Amino acid sequence: MQPLRFVTTNSGKVREAEEYLEGRYDVEQLDYDYTEIQSDSLADIAAHGAREAFDARDDDVPVIVDDAGLFVNAVGGFPGPYSSYVEDTLGVERVWRVAETLDNRRAAFRCTVAFTDGETTETFDGAVQGRIVAPRGDGGFGYDPIFEHDGETFAEMNTEAKNALSHRGRALAKLADWLAER
């Protein structure tokens, strides 16, 4: 099996990637602190990170990086690529307080997975639509308690159910299809 490095501090993401790439790639976790460029594009941020992490190593092992965020339609996609910063500063509960004032609370989780092998860099996008609600549920992480899809928040779903329809799962599925065709 070929090795593939997933640059992340989150071992849950590595397990999720393994499910999609099972039997074809041996997914290793690489804890590397790449530069998160400032951009409105998840694809630009992830691709830049993947190339930087690849260049930091002296071998040809391909690398993947993911970048994700919550995009609230009525406020121009806020917090979008700044979701991490907003989670740490404003906090999830207060993102709900902002959304509560909106008539239209539709939102999407978006994720881009960037792959590079030093020669080819490709990005794969996944999204899941939903709406912002008052926090419910104890599972998941980040914005999961305030994101509702089909009547359930992501924090109310078990990991398997969430992964089956999540933005990251959809991006990983596209990556897996592309790798299978190469």
Binding site for ligand IMP (CB under 6 A): 67-69, 83-84, 87, 109, 140-144, 154, 166
DSSP code of 53?
H
Shortest distance, position 136 Cβ to ligand IMP, whole Å:
13
DSSP code of 150?
T
Shortest distance, position 79 Cβ to ligand IMP, whole Å:
8
Say which residues have a Cβ less than 8 Å from residue 119's Cβ, sequence separation at least 6: none
In the complex with ligand IMP, the residue whose CB is nearer, 84 or 121, is: 84
What distance in Å separates the CA atoms of residue 169 and residue 61, rounded to the nearest whole number? 22
What distance in Å separates the CA atoms of residue 182 and residue 180, rounded to the nearest whole number? 6
Instruction: Please identify which residue in the block is written with the tokens 């917090």.
Output: 79
Catalytic residue of the set 59, 60, 67, 150: 67
Cβ neighbours of 61 (radius 10 Å): 15
67 is catalytic: yes
What distance in Å separates the CA atoms of residue 166 and residue 111, rounded to the nearest whole number? 9
Say which residues have a Cβ less than 8 Å from residue 64's Cβ, sequence separation at least 6: 4, 5, 6, 7, 17, 50, 113, 114, 115, 175
In the complex with ligand IMP, the residue whose CB is nearer, 40 or 60, is: 40
Shortest distance, position 163 Cβ to ligand IMP, whole Å:
9
- Chain centre distance of CA 2: 23
Shortest distance, position 173 Cβ to ligand IMP, whole Å:
15
In the complex with ligand IMP, the residue whose CB is nearer, 4 or 119, is: 4
Position of minimal CB gap to ligand IMP? 142
Shortest distance, position 169 Cβ to ligand IMP, whole Å:
9
**Catalytic residue positions, numbered:** 67
